[in-house]
Amino acid sequence: MIKNIGVLGGGSWGTALSKLLSENGHNVTVWLRDEKACKEISQSRVNEKYLPKVKIPENIVFTSDINEAAKEAEILLLVIPTQVVRGVLKQIKDEYKNGKIIINASKGIERGTMSLVSDIVKEETKNSIFAVLSGPSHAEEVGLSMPTAITIACENKAVAEEIQDAFMSEYFRVYTNDDVRGAELGGALKNIIALGAGISDGVGYGDNAKAALINRGIVEIARLGIAMGADIHTFYGLTGIGDLIVTCTSKHSRNWNAGYLIGQGLTKNEAIKKVGMVVEGIPTTYAAYELSKKLNVDMPIVDAMYDVLENNADVKETVNKLMLRDKKEEKL
């Protein structure tokens, strides 16, 4: 069934998903905050800044008026940084906010409130049905129609299947899951571990160190997830270990790239500027650190990342501290 879909955010992931949904026959309107960029993409049909190799279908509409993107939408797709979700939702007229399907395709935890996007949507909208789209999926590959598998998590099974049908294609396979919290946490927290993996590569450590970081990283992610009511099995799937692997090992990963630059000696702000895109793992590190203390969850990798980002701790000394912690059994 053809859907009217409003996409909020025209970065690399928003562009790739808009192309996919348009190819699937849906009516897609994309909102960009930058009016100049909106006009340029509308004319050239290329997102030169974020996805220059991808031709954008002619029938996708671009607008700098957020309510134009939202007013006719049956599904609203959030592809904006987590830290601005609350402010963006406040801009939408009240008639849209009542009883609509809202899908989050970004990954992070709101700093300060420690809220997941599901919490923000619940607070800022009325009776909306929330879902999260997450998994190992680089926009650069999806934009070029490369095979990808991803998960849609929604507590409403019928809506999950409706969204699954909207996104499924010959190159984009979608699985359903009802563990929204687990999917959100897996997608958000893996960015912290990817920053660490980039730092490890940047200072010249080898594959052994990165494999250990990835493995112990998923343990920490699962610990916090369980403490917040998630299903441990979610972290074995696409939104957990699957997303963690791709983000920690690929040079497409903005979080890995930022970490690599920090490992090479740049400050976090210099690394963000050089990457040129939102690095969600940095604010998420702060939020996860606060959550772990609030919930009394042991997360030594998150602690170490916080120390590097907040206190400019020496990376090699921080690794030594991790390696020389008290002996323990390998368990969750």
Catalytic residues: 190
Two structure tokens written together for 131 = 């879902």
- Collapsing DSSP states into helix, strand and coil, what is residue 132? strand
Nearest to 141 by CA among 319, 296, 15, 281: 15
Nearest to 306 by CA among 230, 241, 220: 220
Nearest to 259 by CA among 186, 208, 190: 190
Nearest to 58 by CA among 41, 37, 75: 41
For 6, 15, 98, 172, 307, the CA distances from 60, given in Å and listed in that order, are: 10, 10, 25, 19, 44
Nearest to 27 by CA among 92, 73, 64, 66: 73
Helix axes 180-203, 281-295, angle to 10 degrees: 120
Separation CA 282–CA 254 (nearest Å):
11
| Beta strands in the chain, from DSSP E residues, in sequence order | 4-8, 27-31, 46-47, 51-55, 61-63, 75-78, 101-104, 129-134, 148-154, 172-177
Q: Kind of pairing, strands 129-134 and 148-154?
A: antiparallel
Nearest to 12 by CA among 79, 70, 63: 79
| Amino acid, res. 313 | A
Q: Kind of pairing, strands 27-31 and 75-78?
A: unpaired
Two structure tokens written together for 139 = 């926009």
